[in-house]
């Protein structure tokens, strides 16, 4: 990715459809007018469409409809947010790549972002369908050095924060199925979260937060997933700018992590849960290592454990497990 290209695209985004003078671009960026023309030609070859108006300048008419590192960086600049992003056309799993880079000593925090995954995964070893049609597959890699018990509400908090961001930015109210599935308004899976950690003595040394978020149209799903999965484009009924949305998601998850790390999250935790939870009051079965537990969900405790009232009137706290809704 060229920093000059990113600066050029950022100027066009700031212009919001109005012409941008080539002379002004050259002066502001400290390069020649010919250099600007040459960069615009390379950007055209990458899928950007510009038109030229005599004495007015250039206008940006279309941008790539898939993730593009230059366009993504321009949106991050506009959001006044900077974080190291490792962009890959394809990878086995962004979580696996983040783990490898942490093991090799890469400085954290950083993001691994991929156009597609060949071995995307979710909780309990499940496969995550990873189309290359413009969805979000990313992992945030951290070295938090915090006590392991502090991580208990982390995944839940991050899922709730993503629901809040999508509602604020797109007007779509998603739901969170404890502990890590984000569902569309009609109950179909739209995103999944996979948090993985490595402990060093009594400290969380490496922490990886993985997110798969469906954006592309629902017809891109395999037949077996169409009945149970959805996408943001399917909900809105119109195309979404995947680069703008990805920049916003990256900023949101890193800001949410900072709030968590600095203990600035607890006062919002139950407020977000009350808004985005889909389980309270419903009958569920939790699959555990021992006997499954069935009962009515009564909410969560202060660290995100699920409160289940069983048929014998007892309240059981569940800190992990697989949830199945019962009719």
Secondary structure E strands in 83-224? 85-91, 110-117, 136-142, 175-177, 181-183, 189-200, 203-213
- Residue 92, pLDDT score: 94
> CA–CA separation, 91 vs 88, rounded Å?
7
Backbone φ, ψ for residue 159 (5° rounding): -65, -40
pLDDT for the residue 65? 86
pLDDT at 201: 81
Tokens, residue 139: 């992992």
Coil, strand or helix at 223? helix
Angle between helices 3-15 and 22-29 (to 10 degrees): 130
Q: Establish whether domains 3-62 and 69-276 are of one fold.
A: no
CATH topology of domain 69-276: BirA Bifunctional Protein; domain 2 (3.30.930)
What ranges do the domains of the chain cover? 3-62, 69-276, 283-325
pLDDT value for 180: 92
Q: Which pLDDT belongs to residue 289?
A: 72
pLDDT of residue 325: 87
| Architecture of the CATH domain 3-62 | Orthogonal Bundle (1.10)
**Would you report the helix, strand and coil content of the chain in percent, each value rounded to 5?**
35, 30, 35
283-325 CATH fold: SH3 type barrels. (2.30.30)
Q: Which residues contact 40 (CB under 8 A, 6 or more apart)?
A: 8, 50, 58
Separation CA 256–CA 250 (nearest Å): 10
**pLDDT tens, per residue, the chain with 327 residues:** 689 999 999 999 999 999 999 999 999 999 999 999 999 999 999 999 999 888 889 999 999 988 999 999 999 999 999 899 999 999 999 999 999 999 999 999 999 999 999 987 765 556 656 676 679 999 999 999 999 999 999 999 999 999 999 999 999 999 999 999 999 999 999 999 999 999 988 899 999 999 999 998 765 667 777 788 899 999 999 889 999 999 999 999 999 999 999 999 999 998 999 999 999 999 999 987 778 899 999 999 999 999 999 999 999 999 988 898 876
């Amino acid at each position: 990715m060229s920093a000059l290209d990113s600066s050029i695209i950022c100027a066009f985004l700031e212009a919001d459809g109005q012409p941008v003078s080539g002379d002004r671009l050259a002066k502001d960026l400290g390069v020649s007018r010919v250099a600007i023309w040459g960069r615009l030609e390379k950007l055209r070859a990458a899928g950007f469409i510009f038109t030229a108006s005599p004495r007015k300048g250039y206008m940006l008419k279309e941008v790539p409809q898939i993730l593009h590192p230059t366009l993504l960086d321009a949106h991050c600049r506009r959001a006044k947010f900077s974080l190291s992003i490792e962009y890959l056309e394809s990878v086995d799993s962004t979580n696996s790549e983040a783990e490898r880079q942490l093991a090799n000593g890469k400085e954290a925090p950083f993001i691994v972002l991929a156009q597609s995954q060949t071995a995307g995964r979710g909780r309990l070893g499940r496969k995550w369908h990873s189309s290359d049609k413009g969805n979000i597959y990313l992992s945030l890699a951290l070295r938090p050095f915090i006590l392991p018990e502090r991580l208990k509400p982390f995944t839940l908090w991050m899922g709730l924060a993503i629901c809040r961001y999508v509602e604020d930015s797109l007007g779509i109210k998603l739901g969170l199925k404890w502990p890590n599935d984000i569902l569309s308004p009609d109950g179909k899976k739209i995103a999944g979260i996979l948090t993985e950690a490595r402990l060093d003595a009594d400290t969380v040394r490496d922490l990886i937060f993985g997110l798969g978020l469906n954006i592309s149209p629902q017809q891109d799903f395999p037949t077996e997933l169409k009945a149970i999965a959805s996408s943001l484009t399917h909900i809105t009924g119109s195309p979404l700018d995947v680069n703008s949305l990805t920049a916003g998601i990256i900023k949101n998850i890193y800001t949410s992590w900072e709030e968590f790390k600095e203990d600035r999250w607890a006062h919002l935790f139950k407020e977000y849960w009350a808004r985005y939870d889909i389980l309270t009051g419903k009958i569920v079965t939790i699959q555990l290592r021992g006997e499954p537990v069935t009962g009515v969900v009564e909410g969560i405790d202060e660290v995100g454990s699920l409160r289940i009232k069983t048929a014998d009137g007892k309240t059981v706290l569940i800190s992990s497990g697989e949830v199945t809704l019962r009719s």
